[in-house]
């Protein structure tokens, strides 16, 4: 069974490597072959992870902790390659293989004859491998490797339609958010090795609070919370998720409805011993999640297109999941992640046909649909409703604050530093022959 688990884990990465080598050799497989190989890969992984889930959840067999050696080791620390198949990782592996497989099957026709068909499936397979790696990682170092693979594929798929400036600009903005969040994750890895001897999920050794270790636990937990907020677009990183809707609809479904945005919550479930040992970190998580859920609800109700509405609805549910983890309801949070991922994938995939279905429902209802949410609006005074609507239309003024307080000063700083670089040399003209060549080139 160990061999099958490793094969199921590695198959998407093998497909990515094979397609990459074929591209370097100037070869391009036909679209049906690429689509069928991808679907077969995730079907195999889904079956293997289903058997493992039955073994763990229903037969109550022990977890598998596979040590595959060390990346490198020093006199003071070692970075091991450790995979952990337990009751938390296997359901996420099962969920990821199921949903990525469904999206791959959907994408075979959705991306048919698109110039970026092969590029899309390469990125989808790399994402699948990264998500599997995050789920099965036995230590935060290995989790970070999969974390980065998921992040870079996310950015590349946001900017998938690279002939237009808007997707590229939004991809760069999301990349900036990811980079800032990853600083917190790297810092947690460093401090985890310094204070705890490493953050290995199967056997995490926390310092004794009586010996002054409580502040170390709190600091590490807060760093992990910030990293999770960056991946899930919660709290200080609330603004990037609507920008990620520039990519193809299937990639939006699997990244921002199903798997990618839930990896932050998964990290917090993995780090649950740290949160349980630090009341300050748990309270901060509840506060950030609750504020994000409230703001996401306001923005969802005022959005004017389907994908943006789904993005804000996703942020609302992610905020609630963060609250559940902060309250210690880890079982509820795990079920919430699974159900939300499945429902949101279906909603994203049917988003292109949403207006068509709405017209059918409208006609079936006799040309009139009853408004929704009025019973909630009645609880809020009219003046407060207008104020909340203004906040929602301004997206909580989050983007304005970030642009003025962070992005604009950074842009001015980079423009100032550019003055230190030498100016590019101007082409020199040595005679009428060069002038005629320049005119011919311009023509």
Q: Could you read off the pLDDT of 280-333 as tens digits, one per residue?
A: 899 999 999 999 998 888 888 777 777 888 888 899 999 999 999 999 898 899
pTM of the model: 0.83
pLDDT at residue 94 greater than cutoff 60:
yes
How many other C-beta atoms can be found within 10 angstroms of the C-beta atom of residue 364?
A: 9
Which residues have a Cβ under 8 Å from the Cβ of 201 and sit 6 or more positions away?
84, 137, 138, 139, 140, 270
Q: What does the pLDDT read at residue 436?
A: 47
Helix, strand, or coil (residue 82): strand
Q: What does the pLDDT read at residue 396?
A: 67
What kind and span of H or E run contains 67? Answer: strand 64-73
Helix, strand, or coil (residue 309): helix
How many other C-beta atoms can be found within 10 angstroms of the C-beta atom of residue 182?
A: 17
pLDDT at residue 156 greater than cutoff 60:
yes
* pLDDT per residue as tens digits for the range 364-414: 777 676 666 666 677 777 777 777 777 777 666 777 777 777 777 877 887
Q: What are the φ and ψ backbone dihedral angles of 292, each rounded to 5 degrees?
A: -65, -40
- State CA 2 to chain mean position distance: 28
- Average pLDDT value for residue range 107-132: 90
Q: What does the pLDDT read at residue 307?
A: 80
The model's confidence at residue 247, banded by pLDDT at 50, 70 and 90, is confident
Share of the chain above pLDDT 90, in %: 27
pLDDT at residue 118 greater than cutoff 50:
yes
Alpha-carbon torsion, ordered 168, 172, 175, 179, to 10 deg = 160
If we measure between CA atoms, which residue out of 342, 191, 155, 188 comes closest to residue 270?
A: 188
Q: What does the pLDDT read at residue 359?
A: 72
Q: What does the pLDDT read at residue 223?
A: 92
Q: What does the pLDDT read at residue 435?
A: 47
pLDDT at residue 208 greater than cutoff 70:
no
Alpha-carbon torsion, ordered 403, 405, 410, 411, to 10 deg = 40
* pLDDT per residue as tens digits for the range 6-28: 999 999 999 999 988 888 888 88
If we measure between CA atoms, which residue out of 163, 149, 168 comes closest to residue 13?
A: 149
Q: What does the pLDDT read at residue 437?
A: 41
The model's confidence at residue 93, banded by pLDDT at 50, 70 and 90, is very high
């Amino acid at each position: 069974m160990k061999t099958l688990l490793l094969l199921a884990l590695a198959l998407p990465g093998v497909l990515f490597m094979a397609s990459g080598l074929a591209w370097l050799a100037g070869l391009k497989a036909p679209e049906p072959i690429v689509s069928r190989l991808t679907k077969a890969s995730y079907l195999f992984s889904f079956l293997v992870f289903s058997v493992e889930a039955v073994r763990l959840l229903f037969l109550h067999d022990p977890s598998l902790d596979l040590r595959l050696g060390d990346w490198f080791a020093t006199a003071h620390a070692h970075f091991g390659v450790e995979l952990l198949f337990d009751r938390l990782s296997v359901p996420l592996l099962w969920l990821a293989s199921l949903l990525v497989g469904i999206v791959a099957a959907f994408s075979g026709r959705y991306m048919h004859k698109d110039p970026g068909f092969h590029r899309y499936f390469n990125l989808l397979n790399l994402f699948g491998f990264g998500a599997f790696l995050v789920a099965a990682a036995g230590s935060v170092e290995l989790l970070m490797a999969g974390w980065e693979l998921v992040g870079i594929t996310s950015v590349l798929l946001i900017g998938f339609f690279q002939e237009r400036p808007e997707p590229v600009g939004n991809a760069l903005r999301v990349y900036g958010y990811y980079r800032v969040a990853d600083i917190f994750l790297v810092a947690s890895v460093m401090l985890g090795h310094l204070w705890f001897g490493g953050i290995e999920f199967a056997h995490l050794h926390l310092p004794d609070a009586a010996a002054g270790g409580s502040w170390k636990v709190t600091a590490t937990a807060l760093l992990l919370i910030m990293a999770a907020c960056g991946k899930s677009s919660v709290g200080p990183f609330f603004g990037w998720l609507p920008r990620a809707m520039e990519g193809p609809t299937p990639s939006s479904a699997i990244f921002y409805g199903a798997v990618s945005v839930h990896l932050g919550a998964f990290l917090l479930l993995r780090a649950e011993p740290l949160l349980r040992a630090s009341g300050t970190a748990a309270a901060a998580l509840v506060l950030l999640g609750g504020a994000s859920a409230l703001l996401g609800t306001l923005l969802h109700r005022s959005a004017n297109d389907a994908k943006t509405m789904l993005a804000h609805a996703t942020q609302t549910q992610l905020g609630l999941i963060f609250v559940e983890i902060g309250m210690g309801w880890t079982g509820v949070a795990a079920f919430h992640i699974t159900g939300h991922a499945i429902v949101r994938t279906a909603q994203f995939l049917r988003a292109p046909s949403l207006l068509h279905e709405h017209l059918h429902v409208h006609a079936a209802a006799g040309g009139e649909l009853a408004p929704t949410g009025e019973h909630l609006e009645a609880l809020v005074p009219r003046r407060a409703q207008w104020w909340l609507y203004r906040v929602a239309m301004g997206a909580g003024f989050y983007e304005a604050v970030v642009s003025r307080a962070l992005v604009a000063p950074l842009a001015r700083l980079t423009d100032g530093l550019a003055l230190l670089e030498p100016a590019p040399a101007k082409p020199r003209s040595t005679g009428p022959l060069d002038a005629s060549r320049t005119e011919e080139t311009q023509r």
